[in-house]
């Protein structure tokens, strides 16, 4: 897992997160602990839900499902890097949180494009209007 994380962080460093250093802690948790998402970042820890087939999707490369799983891990690594650069998210407003999500989804989509996927991901903000 550390080799995969290091490779994804190198990719991030080459794509605008040069100040991002170190590795986050990775925990395998229940889906409830990731708020129903496949992964969740908080305070230096990336939680991966049981919805990940850890070895088959993350550690064995190749295939669209593996690429998508790695992109989800990359998305959470963006949040790890954002926290290093900008500080913990709890100090910021909802709009700052939305901006961080927008950036993470854009980086994730760029990664997918570079891997040959046409998948486009974006953060959906529900707004009253």
Distance CA 47, CA 37 (A): 10
**Residue with the larger pLDDT of the pair 56 and 100:** 100
Q: Is residue 122 part of a domain?
A: no
Q: Is residue 39 part of a domain?
A: yes
117 pLDDT tier (thresholds 50, 70, 90): confident
Torsion of CA 78, 82, 84, 90, to 10 degrees: -120
Average pLDDT over residues 4-32: 88
Judged against a pLDDT cut of 50, whether residue 129 lies above it is answered with no
Q: Is residue 125 part of a domain?
A: no
Q: Is residue 101 part of a domain?
A: yes
**Residue with the larger pLDDT of the pair 65 and 14:** 14
Q: Is residue 119 part of a domain?
A: no
Q: Is residue 17 part of a domain?
A: yes
Give the mean pLDDT of the chain.
82
Looking at the structure of the chain, the number of domains it has is 1
Check residue 81 and give its pLDDT. 92
Average pLDDT over residues 95-111: 90
Q: Is residue 77 part of a domain?
A: yes
Q: Are 8 and 66 within 8 A, CB to CB?
A: no
Q: Are 57 and 2 within 8 A, CB to CB?
A: no
Average pLDDT over residues 87-93: 70
Handedness of CA 117, 55, 31, 34 (dihedral sign): negative
Judged against a pLDDT cut of 50, whether residue 4 lies above it is answered with yes
Average pLDDT over residues 47-74: 76
Q: Domain of 11?
A: 2-114
Q: Is residue 124 part of a domain?
A: no
The reported pTM is 0.84
* DSSP-H helix ranges across the chain: 2-14, 64-86, 94-114
Average pLDDT over residues 66-78: 90
């Amino acid at each position: 897992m550390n080799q995969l994380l290091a490779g994804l962080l190198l990719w991030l460093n080459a794509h605008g997160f040069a100040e991002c250093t170190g590795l986050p802690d990775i925990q395998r948790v229940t889906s409830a602990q990731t708020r129903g998402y496949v992964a969740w970042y908080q305070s230096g820890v990336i939680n991966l839900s049981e919805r990940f087939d850890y070895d088959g999707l993350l550690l064995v490369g190749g295939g669209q499902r593996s690429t998508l799983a790695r992109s989800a891990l990359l998305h959470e690594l963006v949040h790890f890097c954002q926290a290093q650069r900008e500080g913990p998210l709890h100090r910021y407003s909802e709009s700052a949180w939305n901006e961080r999500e927008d950036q993470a989804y854009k980086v994730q989509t760029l990664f997918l494009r570079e891997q040959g996927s046409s998948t486009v991901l974006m953060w959906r903000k529900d707004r009253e209007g």
